[in-house]
Structure 1
Amino acid sequence: MDPSIFSGLPYFNPFMMINTSGTCATTRLVQCRDFGVMMNDVSRKFDKDPEDVPDLSRDDFVSRQIVLKQTEGIRQMWTPILYMYEIVKASAKRQRDWGHLCFTDMTTTRFFLVMIFPSTCNCGNYSHHDYAAVTKYHADKFFSLLTLLWHNDQPPNWVRATYTTPDHAYRVDPTLLTRSDSPPTTTPNNLPQIIEVNSSNFVPSILPSEVEKVENLLAQKGPRAKKISEDVKKMVQGTKQEIRPDVNGQAWKQKNARQCAACEAIKEKDLATCSRCKLVYYCSKECQKEHWPRHKIWCKKSSQTPA
């Protein structure tokens, strides 16, 4: 449903429309705080047949379904809120920039990420499948986002992250989520370790361009949008050279296909973002011009001053 239909209503903003198929982590986190975690539960999507979920391949659907099945016993404490995400809309440039399953507890101060990777290859180049490095990168990046959004309002406690592969039969150890202390460095049944990131050890990992996108997205809430102080921005910002894992291989570097906001064509190249909000893509100037009457309602460039 097009949110612009409701744009004339007092205090309405796009964050009021919950889409469990959404991939923007910033939007989902705000909605978890505004409307409650259970309203953002994505597990019901995986009660369907794979053919009824066109935004995931069959393998991606089945692997996530298996992981979700393992967490059913702790579902009262932990809720899956994202099954594929980018930190903020239009921020994931390549495949390595996408996160996978994300769970939160009811306080939205503790999070668990599960990255789902293919089997390791036998090429002899370890960097092709340094899955632990990619997982740590996503944990740092997610904790940085949480700190950016909530540093002064119920800040995050920790983000725990692990990965799984077909070699592990997509198994994870959900019992580690119930531990109040840090998880051990080794896990049962030779499963990958759980990495814990918290305020004392996280690597600042949000790029300045992503901070700008987050601010522009939050500005869509209008007068209710919270300002992010310059001190908090400095606390979480990193550079590409400092934070991105050194992972080779064409799969990691493959550019993400994007959908034109006007004609909905999906392309991997030659799309441009809106120069103002930088949150939507267009395949041509004609498409951008055609879409402007609808987009201008929400297109905002944050004019925040340091808080």
Structure 2
Amino acid sequence: MLSESAMNASWAQSTFGMGFINLSGTCATTKLIQCRGMGVYQCEVSRKFQKRPEEAPDLMRADFLARKSVLDQVQHWCDEQDGKPSVGDIYRNEWCPILYDWEVAKSSAKKLRDRGHIIFTDLTLTRFLSVMCFGPKGTTCGHESYEDDYATIAKTNAHRFLCLAKYLYHDENKPQWIRATYTTYGEPLPPEFFDFGKPTTDSNTHIWHIPIEDLIPSLLPGEIERIDNLIAQSPWTEPPPASLKQEVMGSKEDRPEITTWKYANTKTGAVCGNCGKTGNNKMPMCSQCKLVRYCNKECQVAAWKMHRQICKASQAKKA
């Protein structure tokens, strides 16, 4: 298994377009930049789910199977449309999964509620599908009691992802909409989710269609700072105009409360960028890029030889 510092180097290589795509990457900013620079097909993650659950150590078995079920359902729908006229102007009725567990930017998710699940894109990178996979009935995460919270998380993360796409894709092929839903293990996606000819919001079937003009600004200032640091390392994405920040920036106070799903506010762990040990979000952070944390000063010094490729490239482009 690669150390975190080695993964940092691989991540830097992928950001700079050196031909490496990490299928297990959780940084939505990096993935959207790669999609623009390297093409959607290079970035799709369905290959990960052609393996056995045991071969995906970053996912629990139930989570793996839940995501695989969603990918299979969307692929089945695409296959059924093969040879048929496009629905609306959806390009060739093709949808590629590019993320299965994401945070807005590297190390930005502080709580479990801050992480999204599956994101599909069409080949134009202007329309997206978002699916959240929650726990099965009859378990400690049973969805009957938490339905309102599940809906809130699904909608909130859809707005956050569309804000990110708007911020990154500001020059051409601008995003048009995102369509969101959620499911529980063993339950199929609602058929209405694929009815793109009727892009309406339907809370009864847990479907939310969000056009870009209805977008709620919801990126936090700290997330935007991390996004800017990643943009600074990319040869494919230009920094957005300063005015765009105000169009996508929200605040913690604007985010809805999650009251009944107790796991939503579970704090996510941080991983040391040198030794790979899991800690918490109070671990010292690199003060320049704010993308990596370390156990202590010794680990930060030890990782600098690899990590400086990221930091120095970021600072040079900003200058």
> What TM-score does the superposition give when structure 2 sets the normalisation length?
0.83
Which amino acid is the alignment partner of residue 95 of structure 1? Answer: L
Specify the alignment match of 2:44 in structure 1: 41
Cα distance in 2 for residues equivalent to 1:248 and 1:55: 26
Confirm or deny: 8 A CA contact 2:149 2:261 kept in the other structure.
no
Q: Indicate which of 249, 254, 264 corresponds to 1:252.
A: 264
Confirm or deny: 8 A CA contact 2:219 2:250 kept in the other structure.
yes
Cα distance in 2 for residues equivalent to 1:159 and 1:294: 37
Q: Deviations over 1:100-128 (max 9, x none)?
A: 011011111000000011246799x9668
Q: Deviations over 1:129-149 (max 9, x none)?
A: 521111110011011101111
Cα distance in 2 for residues equivalent to 1:122 and 1:16: 40
Confirm or deny: 8 A CA contact 2:11 2:22 kept in the other structure.
no
Specify the alignment match of 1:113 in structure 2: 130
Q: Deviations over 1:30-56 (max 9, x none)?
A: 111111111111111111111110000
Shift of 1:248: 4.3
Cα distance in 2 for residues equivalent to 1:71 and 1:302: 42
Specify the alignment match of 2:150 in structure 1: 131
Specify the alignment match of 1:71 in structure 2: 74
Specify the alignment match of 2:223 in structure 1: 210
Cα distance in 1 for residues equivalent to 2:190 and 2:10: 44
Q: Indicate which of 234, 239, 244 corresponds to 1:221.
A: 234
Which amino acid is the alignment partner of residue 249 of structure 2? Answer: Q
RMSD across aligned C-alpha pairs, in angstroms? 3.0
- Note if 1:82 corresponds to 2:99: yes
Specify the alignment match of 1:277 in structure 2: 289
Specify the alignment match of 2:87 in structure 1: none
Shift of 1:270: 4.0
Cα distance in 2 for residues equivalent to 1:157 and 1:14: 26
Specify the alignment match of 1:140 in structure 2: 159
Shift of 1:186: 6.2
Cα distance in 2 for residues equivalent to 1:6 and 1:66: 28
Which amino acid is the alignment partner of residue 218 of structure 2? Answer: S
Change (3 A) 1:197 1:266: same
Change (3 A) 1:144 1:302: farther
Q: Indicate which of 274, 279, 283 corresponds to 1:262.
A: 274
Which amino acid is the alignment partner of residue 101 of structure 2? Answer: M
Cα distance in 2 for residues equivalent to 1:296 and 1:41: 29
Which amino acid is the alignment partner of residue 133 of structure 1? Answer: T
Change (3 A) 1:109 1:5: closer
Q: Indicate which of 33, 55, 60 corresponds to 1:57.
A: 60
Shift of 1:304: 4.9
- Note if 1:236 corresponds to 2:248: yes
Change (3 A) 1:122 1:199: closer
Change (3 A) 1:62 1:17: same
Identity of paired residues, percent? 37
Cα distance in 1 for residues equivalent to 2:152 and 2:215: 14
Shift of 1:282: 0.7
Confirm or deny: 8 A CA contact 1:144 1:236 kept in the other structure.
yes
Which amino acid is the alignment partner of residue 240 of structure 1? Answer: K
Cα distance in 2 for residues equivalent to 1:205 and 1:31: 23
Specify the alignment match of 1:104 in structure 2: 121
Cα distance in 2 for residues equivalent to 1:302 and 1:238: 28
Cα distance in 2 for residues equivalent to 1:65 and 1:5: 26
Q: Deviations over 1:134-187 (max 9, x none)?
A: 111001101110111112321111011000113xx2311366335134135267
- Note if 1:197 corresponds to 2:224: no
Cα distance in 2 for residues equivalent to 1:248 and 1:108: 35
Shift of 1:65: 1.1
Unaligned runs of 5+ in 1: none
* The 10-residue stretch of structure 1 (69-78 or 95-104) with the greater mean CA deviation from structure 2: 69-78
SS in 1 for 2:243: helix
Cα distance in 2 for residues equivalent to 1:5 and 1:38: 19
Which amino acid is the alignment partner of residue 202 of structure 1? Answer: L
Change (3 A) 1:194 1:52: same
Which amino acid is the alignment partner of residue 199 of structure 1? Answer: I
Specify the alignment match of 2:82 in structure 1: none
